[in-house]
């Protein structure tokens, strides 16, 4: 029998509306109300004085690149990056090589997860065969294989009729549909937000409307079918308004924002640094403020990282030809605390809720709580510690981060999965 006693922490558990000073008790990988006198004597103790103890963070949007793109990331390295960032549960996108559009690929991923992952990793399956947007993937087979959602992330389904059929099938199988909202006819050759900065830099602009049109399409389809559609990495102020009005009508729409979209704007691209190139692109200050207000009033449901590793040779190219995407797992907590808590006066329990209970509930995962009997997944962090982020020495296989070399505030000190310490603040413990 193994016991763990976390002492003197500020315990925040949004699921139980708990925010107080106290202890957390763990026995045999589960939370328990208390430990017996004998168990306390043999328990491993962690003095968490000055630290926040919360459920392990949950991220429903990561790219671990395996199978087929392990020069960028693997399930092993991606899960280590997650642990270093305080995440204990993550959901992988299916745009691997080959794409995850069949039960065989899903089984392969699950086998690798069992062998290599240090946190809990769940796969998603494709909406369409080959992610080509032409024919539906076998959604029932994918559900039986173990996917927790379906998505063509990175390749938005352009056919409205095909998307309708997809969400109807997904509703039958009680699977959320996660959609990357992009009208591709409006973004051919586009590499950054359309506006003053794109004109100044001489780069092809990407209009808000390319996102807004698909967001509106998905709202209509959700209301038409009753299916749950989750809108990934929202970036446009107009989209926030559409979602807000849809929720007022009780549409089954949920949405996420990323740390980089609430922290940065297209002004950051002035030096053509490809570590600021992403999809959807960084937009204006007005868009950024709208995302923050959407998180404040519940229009946007969760924070998700869209962790998207690319190796240095891929990113070190002309801006037009470099791939979209940045790392996110190891910096997400610090960046989110800075923007939402310190700059915008969000209460800390609300921010923890955006990164724990809410994303777990959205994808129907058994995570995001410190309740007795639940799996003992914990993140311990110091909200006030400053540190310099070195992406090149991080746990990810890649280093494409706009925060490389920056000083951040808020640092993960311990990550616990199923009652076992997997990150001790300095290194992964395997």
- Measured distance CA(274)–CA(59) in Å, rounded: 24
Q: Of residues 155, 287, 301, 306, which has the active-site annotation?
A: 306
Q: Which helix (H) or strand (E) holds 23?
A: strand 18-27
How crowded is residue 42: how many other Cβ atoms within 10 Å of its Cβ?
12
Specify which residues 4 forms β-bridges with: 26, 44
Q: Which helix (H) or strand (E) holds 198?
A: helix 196-201
- Measured distance CA(87)–CA(248) in Å, rounded: 32
Residue 24, Cα to own-chain centre: how many angstroms? 26
- Measured distance CA(317)–CA(311) in Å, rounded: 11
**Cα–Cα–Cα angle for 40, 44, 47, nearest 5°?**
95
- Measured distance CA(229)–CA(216) in Å, rounded: 12
Residue ranges with strand state E in 263-401: 302-303, 378-388
- Measured distance CA(369)–CA(345) in Å, rounded: 24
306 is catalytic: yes
How crowded is residue 207: how many other Cβ atoms within 10 Å of its Cβ?
17
How crowded is residue 146: how many other Cβ atoms within 10 Å of its Cβ?
15
- Measured distance CA(99)–CA(131) in Å, rounded: 7
Contacts of 359 (CB under 8 A, 6+ apart): 58, 59, 60, 256, 301, 302, 303, 304, 365, 368
- Measured distance CA(335)–CA(343) in Å, rounded: 11
- Measured distance CA(142)–CA(123) in Å, rounded: 10
DSSP helix/strand/coil, 324: coil
Q: Report, as residue numbers or ranges, the catalytic residues.
A: 306
């Amino acid at each position: 029998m193994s016991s763990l006693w976390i002492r003197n922490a500020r315990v925040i558990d949004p699921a139980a509306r708990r925010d107080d000073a106290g202890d957390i008790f763990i026995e045999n990988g589960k939370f328990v109300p208390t430990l017996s006198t004998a168990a306390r004597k043999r328990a491993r103790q962690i003095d968490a004085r000055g630290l926040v103890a919360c459920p392990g963070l949950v991220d429903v949007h990561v790219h671990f690149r395996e199978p087929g793109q392990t020069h960028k990331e693997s399930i092993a390295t991606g899960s280590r990056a997650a642990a270093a960032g305080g995440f204990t549960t993550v959901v992988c996108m299916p745009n691997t090589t080959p794409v995850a559009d069949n039960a065989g690929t899903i089984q392969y991923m699950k086998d690798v997860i069992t062998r290599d992952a240090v946190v809990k990793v769940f796969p998603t399956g494709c909406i369409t065969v080959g992610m080509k947007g032409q024919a539906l993937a076998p959604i029932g087979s994918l559900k039986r294989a173990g996917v927790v959602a379906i998505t063509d992330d990175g390749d938005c389904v352009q056919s409205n009729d095909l998307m309708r059929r997809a969400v109807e099938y997904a509703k039958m199988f009680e699977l959320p549909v996660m959609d990357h909202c992009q009208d591709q006819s409006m973004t051919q050759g586009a590499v950054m937000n359309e506006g003053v900065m794109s004109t100044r830099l001489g780069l092809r602009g990407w209009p808000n409307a390319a996102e807004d049109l698909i967001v509106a399409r998905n709202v209509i389809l959700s209301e038409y079918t009753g299916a749950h559609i989750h809108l990934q990495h929202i970036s446009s102020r107009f989209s926030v308004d559409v979602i807000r009005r849809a929720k007022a009508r009780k549409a089954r729409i949920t949405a996420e924002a990323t740390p980089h979209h609430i922290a940065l704007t297209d002004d950051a691209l002035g030096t053509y640094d490809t570590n600021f190139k992403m999809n959807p692109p960084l937009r204006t200050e007005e868009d950024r403020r709208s995302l923050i207000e959407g998180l404040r009033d519940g229009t946007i449901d969760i924070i998700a990282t869209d962790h998207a590793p690319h190796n240095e040779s891929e990113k070190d190219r002309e801006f037009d030809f470099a791939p979209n995407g940045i790392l996110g797992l190891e910096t997400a907590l610090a960046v989110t605390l800075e923007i939402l808590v310190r700059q915008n006066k969000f209460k800390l329990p609300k921010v923890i809720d955006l990164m724990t209970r809410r994303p777990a509930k959205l994808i129907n995962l058994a995570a995001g709580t410190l309740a007795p009997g639940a799996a003992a997944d914990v993140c311990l962090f110091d909200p006030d510690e400053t540190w310099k982020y070195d992406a090149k020495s991080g746990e990810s296989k890649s280093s494409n981060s706009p925060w490389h070399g920056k000083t951040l505030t808020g640092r993960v000190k311990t990550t616990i999965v199923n009652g076992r310490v997997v990150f001790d603040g300095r290194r992964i413990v395997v």
